Amino acid sequence: MKTLVVDDSRREAASLARIIDGLFSQDACEVALDAQEALAKCKDTHYDVVFLDVEMPDASGFDVARELKGNSPSTNVVFVTGHSRYALDAWGTQASAFLLKPVDVEDVRRALGSLRSPIDPHYGQGLFVRCFGNFEVFYDSEPVCFERSKTKELLAYLLDRRGALVSMGELAAVLWEGLPDTPSRRSQLRTLISDLRRTFERLGLADVIIKRRGCIAVRLTAAECDYYGFIHNMPSAVNSYNGEYMCQYSWAESTAALLEASKGGKRRR
Q: Which domains does the chain have, with CATH numbers?
A: 3-112 (3.40.50.2300), 127-267 (1.10.10.10)
Name the stretches of the chain with pLDDT < 50: 122-123, 268-269
Report whether 252 contacts 245 (CB < 8 A).
yes
Torsion of the alpha carbons at 76, 42, 8 and 52, rounded to the nearest 10: -10
Angle between the 168-175 and 149-160 helix axes, to the nearest 10 degrees?
A: 120
pTM for the predicted model, two decimal places:
0.60
Give the single-character DSSP code of 116: S
Total Cβ atoms within 10 A of residue 190: 11
pLDDT digits (tens, 9 = 90+) for 208-252: 999 999 999 999 888 889 999 899 887 777 877 888 999 999 999
